[in-house]
Copies of this chain bind each other. A is one copy, B any other.
């Protein structure tokens, strides 16, 4: 039964969710909000949706580009390099980004008569991004249920597992992760040195996957 809408970036986590739940996903939504790596991500999101025959829409959130400040956005400061920790990556926070994407997803799900929205947040996100934490996911679920006519529910089945656990799922599903995008810099190739590249490399290594991604450095 196709009853789910996936918030789908085209990265490692949400691509795994797309494959794991492909029989339940009626619609995948990507968001163009002016991040440096938006175009790269969305290309891969389109590729996988086409491959799996899943309907895919891109939602323009131009106000984020126009008004919000973050190193993740075009025109913002440089993306930090080095390990992914709170101090280092705080500048990449886009205020309430997941809240905004989930709200749009909830409206869209109600509009399409779908019962669930899905987000691929995971345990490694929690300390850095407040809108990935379990408390946020739980209360956003309640808000979405209370605020929609048909009581849309939020599913976030990766909330308590790590990125390496997600990659292990992908290995079993036969996902080609070289066809996903992580690097926040959004250049021709993954930089291999920013927090999100290092985290990706580590997760694929832990999952015992032969990483064929091209890294600049």
Contact = CB atoms under 8 A, between A and B. Distances in A.
Interface of A: 57, 59-60, 62-64, 67-69, 93-100, 102-104, 106-111, 130-131, 133, 135-136, 139-140, 142-149, 152
Contacts of A100: 100, 103-104, 106-107
Contacts of A139: 139, 142-143, 145-147
10 contacts: A60-B63, A63-B104, A69-B111, A102-B103, A103-B103, A103-B104, A130-B147, A139-B146, A140-B146, A142-B143
How many copies the complex holds: the figure is 2
A107 B33 CA distance: 13
A133 B152 CA distance: 15
A139 B93 CA distance: 23
Contact of A95 (B67, B69, B96, B149): B149
B99 A144 contact: yes
B131 A96 contact: no
A143 to B, nearest CB: 4
